[in-house]
Structure 1
Amino acid sequence: MKYLISVLVGAMSYGILSTIVVLAYGKGYSLGEVVGTQLLTGFILAWLLALYTKLKENRKHAKGGAGSAAYAKASTPITWKQRILLMLAGAPTVVTGLVYYQSLRYIPASLAIILLFQFTWISVLIQSVSRRQRPNKVTLLTLLVLFGGTLLAAGIFDQGAAHFNPLGITLGLLSAVSYSMFIIFSGKAVPSVHPAYRSAWMITGGFLLLCILFPPTFIFSGLLWSQLLFYGFLLGLFGAFIPPVLFAIGVPHIGGGMAGILGAAELPVAVLLSSFVLHEQVSMLQWVGVGLVLLGVVLPELHKVKWGNSKAIIH
């Protein structure tokens, strides 16, 4: 149960971000300042965790725990090639954050999170093309449910497609593409390295890329010590630190399928907060769409469970 809760809380943390960003924009802060303080906070917290992990493993080693698998994994030296690979794997998170947060300037947060959730079928499409395999019937049904749920949740039937800003829609979809690439790359990037060190180097790569795109002048101008620090700390805590740590703890114990189901908790949390905190209008039809999107996320795992049970009965 504690591992299920761990992944659930991590997913819900992601759902908080869009509301915080909109509130920060309301105070007049720019995209570079918002994302910059988020990654700066995440960078500091990630390396503090890596340092704590190192000290903890060193104490275990000093007490005679040198033979443990955890110590061996944590104490294995990381080559510069591995560090560079991890930093490159962390780059898509910056791109995702930039285009997703920028989309919030043009479309409601409740719509932006729904567009981001299109990573579910985009990931399937990318992997199908790369493997040259057609999706199976369950996958196609899932994509159909997701597409229908997205149309409802976006409010197209309530307000019409012309109501929405084309640039905001494009940015929201680009964030989904970028997030899909992050999922694919992060899972393959040096899995043998301890999770604390992996996340630290990945966020380091993201932070360096952001510094190139948006030089962090807010650090030296004194702006950092305004309310920007408060918003940046919350974004770094709930976006760049808590979810990766909780996922690293819980996912190995509950499996990727269940993690995907629990990860869908991000969507209703984001829509709820946009409704209650930002006072965005969310109709009953849109809530039905949110439910369909969640069903689409759950369907593949339900099929696996049903198929597994039927095979067990046959045997």
Structure 2
Amino acid sequence: MKDLKYLISVLVGAMSYGILSTIVVLAYDKGYQLGEVVGTQLVTGCILAWLLALYTKVREKRTQGRQVTVGGSSAVVRSRLSWKNRIVLMLAGAPTVVTGLMYYQSLRYVPASLAIILLFQFTWISVLIQAVSKRKWPDKVTLLTLLLLFGGTLLAAGIMDQGEARFNVLGLTLGLLSAVSYSMFIIFSGKAVPEVHPAYRSAWMVTGGMLLLFILFPPYFLFNGLLWSQLLLFGFLLGLFGAFIPPVLFAIGVPHIGGGMAGILGAAELPVAVLLSSFVLHEQVSGLQWVGVIVVLLGVVLPELSKLRWNNVDAKKV
């Protein structure tokens, strides 16, 4: 039970991601545009991330001071980054912006309950990318996972209920591109200066993402007074639940529960997004679509459960 708080930490972080699509749709209903929505999210997220980095730096200095007082030596402060490392981290943050732009734009054309299903295709896309890069055919568990994800997606998307007529090709394409971008983020972000404290990594990655966004969508909302309307509220909520809370909670919980369990709990994003789209946005989600959501969740957790099982078997042998 001592790991319960870490399990809850990762679970809440994943559920926070599931809130985003509903907030974006509500912002669109108020007339705000894509660049304004994503821009305010990243400005808020960047401010919160740097406040956390500053707090972490102050704590490190206090700890360093205590070490000097007690032992006469001190550890190297992990906040010291070369500009090369900073640039690497900022570049690693770029795919998150592309993911957000594609995902949020897809919400203009397809229901939020479908958009999140499309984003979740990053699971098999990541497997495909790694299989091609390593030139290694996926094992049986992975192939079963891909089959579950594909079948579950067809059900959850509502194709069996309503056919293809209600689907917008552009929305579907944008949703799938967001999954590709997110897959790239997962693959590359973990390799970007992993020895640096998560607070500093997050701050520089969000900063890099914000700069890229401002190149693509100049931040006129910062100067034309629009920021001080309801846009600020939407941006704050998106920044809080998208760019701040999940990374912090994952940094707290994942080291204690492991990547496998974190992957299982991370799937909580999907049902939260579908539930909110149903109850808040009043999108119709049929029973068959809920079956599809459950099948997709099974596809997400199956590889992790398989890893945990084999790890337990190996531990018993030892």
TM-score normalized with structure 1 length = 0.96
Give, in whole Å, the separation in 2 of the partners of 1:268 and 1:121: 18
| Aligned residue in 1 for 2:146 | 143
Give, in whole Å, the separation in 1 of the partners of 2:6 and 2:96: 24
Q: Name which of 55, 60, 74 aligns with 1:52.
A: 55
Query: Is residue 2:264 matched to residue 1:266?
Result: no
Q: Name which of 238, 243, 258 aligns with 1:240.
A: 243
Query: Is residue 2:204 matched to residue 1:201?
Result: yes
Q: Is the 8 A contact 1:74 1:193 kept in 2?
A: no
| Aligned residue in 1 for 2:88 | 85
Q: Is the 8 A contact 2:109 2:168 kept in 1?
A: yes
Bigger shift: 54-63 or 80-89? Answer: 54-63
Report the residue type matching 1:274 in the other structure: S
Report the residue type matching 2:295 in the other structure: L
Query: Is residue 2:251 matched to residue 1:251?
Result: no
| Aligned residue in 2 for 1:163 | 166
What do the CA deviations read for 1:54-105 (whole angstroms, capped 9, x no partner)?
111111222236899xx84643520111000000000000000001000000
Q: How many equivalent pairs are there?
A: 313
- Equivalent positions of 1:1-315 (< 5 A) are 1-64=4-67, 72=75, 74-75=77-78, 77-311=80-314
Q: Is the 8 A contact 1:73 1:194 kept in 2?
A: no
Report the residue type matching 1:82 in the other structure: N
1:308 Cα deviation from its structure 2 partner: 3.4
Q: Is the 8 A contact 1:89 1:185 kept in 2?
A: yes
**Over the residues paired in the alignment, what is the CA RMSD in angstroms?**
1.6
Q: Is the 8 A contact 2:260 2:308 kept in 1?
A: no
Q: Secondary structure at the match of 1:303?
A: helix
1:108 Cα deviation from its structure 2 partner: 0.1
TM-score normalized with structure 2 length = 0.95
Q: Secondary structure at the match of 1:162?
A: coil
Give, in whole Å, the separation in 2 of the partners of 1:17 and 1:252: 25
Q: Is the 8 A contact 1:115 1:172 kept in 2?
A: yes
Change (3 A) 1:133 1:222: same
Change (3 A) 1:103 1:76: closer
Give, in whole Å, the separation in 2 of the partners of 1:185 and 1:247: 17
Report the residue type matching 1:165 in the other structure: N
Change (3 A) 1:153 1:195: same
Change (3 A) 1:67 1:101: farther
Q: Is the 8 A contact 2:64 2:75 kept in 1?
A: no
Report the residue type matching 2:204 in the other structure: W
Change (3 A) 1:54 1:284: same
* Identical aligned residues as a percent: 81
Give, in whole Å, the separation in 2 of the partners of 1:46 and 1:114: 28
Q: Is the 8 A contact 2:79 2:200 kept in 1?
A: no
What do the CA deviations read for 1:218-251 (whole angstroms, capped 9, x no partner)?
0000100000000000000000000011111111
Structure 2 unaligned spans of 5+: none
1:217 Cα deviation from its structure 2 partner: 0.4
Change (3 A) 1:32 1:254: same
Q: Is the 8 A contact 2:93 2:206 kept in 1?
A: yes
